[in-house]
Amino acid sequence: MIAHLFNAPVGDEETAVGVGTVGSSEAIMLAGLAFERKWQKKRRAEGKPFDKPNIVTGANVQVCWEKFARYFEVELKEVKLREGYYPMDPEKAVELVDENTICVAAILGSTLNGEFGDKNKETVCDTPIHVDAASGGFIAPFIYPNLEWDFRLPLVKSINVSGHKYGLVYAGVGWVVWRSQENLPDELIFHINYLGSDQPTFTLNFSKGSSQIIAQYYQFIRLGFEGYKSTMENCTANAKVLKEGIEKTGHFDIISKETGVPLVAFSLSLKDSSRYTVFNIADSLRKFGWNVPADAELIAVTSAAALAAERLVSDIERVLKELDALPSQLIDSSETARVKKRGREQIEEDVTKYWKRFVKKKRTGVC
C-alpha cells in the first residue's frame, strides 16, 4: 500500500519490497546498509578499493543520518545551508559526489522549516538517491500529488517514512520501501522458520510488538486516501491561520514555505533580535503551557487545531508585550550566551553538572 502511494513501478518483473521499522531511524539504518552493501559489491567486481564509503546529504537532516554514518563508519558529506535557503542545494550535492559515494540522501520536509526541496532538478549525476520522507511522505501524496519526489524519479531507489508522524499512528513505527528487490541485497536478508514456514527478515531490532503496524493498517482502511487527504488539508489550513496570526504581530519573519510540512517556522525581525532572543520567547511561552522548539535563530511550530493556533498567537502577543516592557539589560544575559551554543551541547552540559552535584551529595552529604 505504501509502495503504491509512492508510485513504485509494479509489473510482472518489478515488485517493490519494504519493511516495518522502529521509527524512521531504523529505516534509515537499513536503507543505508543496503546502499553500502550494493556499492561494496560493485567496487569488488571492478577490483577497486571499497573501504572508504561516503554519503552526501544536506545539513537540514535529522540526527539519525549522523548516527548511521558514525555507527557504520561511513563518511558524512554535508551540503551546507545558505541564508534563506533551507533545503539541500542539488547542484552543491553533485559537487560532493565522488566514486566512493554510496548514495545521495535528500529530505522531503526540511528539519529546519518543513520546506520540500527540489528533487526533480536536472543534473549530470547518476548516483542513487534515498529520500528521507519521515515527515513529508504522508503529506505530499495527498496535497501535492503533482510534486515528483518519489519513485517516479528513476534515481530514487528507496524511501523511508514515519507512521508516527503524519501517518497518524502513535509513536514507534516507521517504514522503508525499496523500488524493487534488486535494490535490497539478498545477503542482508535472513530467513527463519520459527513459526513453521519461511519468514524473510531485515531489521536491526528483531523482537517488537505489532500494535503500531496494526494501527497503521487500520488507519489506511478506516480513512482511505480521501480521509488522509482531508486530514492533511485541515492541517495545512490550520498552519495558515497560525502563519497569518504570527505575521500580524509585526515582530517576526516567516521562514517556512507554502509547499511543505504544515508547520510555521519564524525568526525574530531585525529590530527585535537586538533586545531578546527566540529562547526568551520560548521560555516565556512555557508558563502558558506551550512547549515550542527553538534554535539559535528559528522557532518552529507544527500546525494545531484552529482554536489552539489562535490561542498560541494570543499568548505570543502577551509574551512580546512583557518582554518589550523590560529594559534590554534585564533580559537574561546567561540565556543570551546559551544561544551561542548548540542546544544539544547545552543540555549535555547541564545534565553533567547536575549528576556531578548529585553524586557528590551522595558521597559527602554536601552539595
Could you tell me the three cell numbers for 142?
495527498
Instruction: Please give the Cα distance from 72 to 79 (Å, whole number).
Output: 20
Counting Cα atoms < 13 Å in the Cβ hemisphere of 347 gives 4
Rg (CA), the chain: 23
Instruction: Please give the Cα distance from 287 to 304 (Å, whole number).
Output: 18
How does pLDDT run across 234-252, given as a tens digit for each residue? 999 999 999 999 999 999 9
Do the beta carbons of residue 68 and residue 32 sit within 8 Å? yes
What pLDDT does 350 receive?
A: 66
Kindly report the pTM of this predicted structure. 0.85
Confidence of residue 126 (pLDDT cuts 50, 70, 90): confident
**Residues across the chain:** 367
Q: How far apart are the first and last CA of the chain?
A: 58
Confidence of residue 330 (pLDDT cuts 50, 70, 90): very low
Given 3-state DSSP classes, what are the helix, strand and coil percentages for the chain, each rounded to the nearest 5?
45, 20, 40
Q: Which DSSP category does 360 fall into?
A: H
What pLDDT does 329 receive?
A: 42
Confidence of residue 346 (pLDDT cuts 50, 70, 90): low
Q: How far is CA 105 from CA 41, 65, 108, 151, 289, in A?
A: 20, 9, 10, 14, 36
How does pLDDT run across 65-80, given as a tens digit for each residue? 999 999 999 999 999 9
The pLDDT of 129-158, averaged and rounded, is 96
How does pLDDT run across 249-259, given as a tens digit for each residue? 999 999 898 89
Could you tell me the three cell numbers for 165?
508522524
What pLDDT does 354 receive?
A: 64
Confidence of residue 308 (pLDDT cuts 50, 70, 90): confident
Do the beta carbons of residue 16 and residue 63 sit within 8 Å? no
Confidence of residue 57 (pLDDT cuts 50, 70, 90): very high
Instruction: Please give the Cα distance from 339 to 341 (Å, whole number).
Output: 5
The answer to whether residue 156 scores a pLDDT higher than 90 is: yes
Do the beta carbons of residue 88 and residue 60 sit within 8 Å? yes
Instruction: Please give the Cα distance from 318 to 225 (Å, whole number).
Output: 40
Q: How does the average pLDDT of the chain come out, rounded?
A: 87
The answer to whether residue 92 scores a pLDDT higher than 80 is: yes
Hey, what domains does the chain have and what are their CATH numbers? 1-208 (3.40.640.10), 240-323 (3.90.1150.160)
What pLDDT does 22 receive?
A: 94
Selection from 234, 206, 222 nearest residue 169 by Cα: 222
Grid cell 516592557 is found at 325
Reduced to 3 states (helix: H, G, I; strand: E, B; else coil), residue 75 is: strand
How does pLDDT run across 263-298, given as a tens digit for each residue? 999 988 877 777 888 888 999 999 999 988 887 667
The pLDDT of 314-327, averaged and rounded, is 90
The pLDDT of 84-97, averaged and rounded, is 89
Helix segments in the chain, DSSP class H? 2-5, 23-45, 63-71, 90-96, 140-143, 211-248, 270-273, 278-285, 306-325, 333-338, 343-364
The pLDDT of 222-228, averaged and rounded, is 97
- In the chain, the amino acid numbered 38 is K
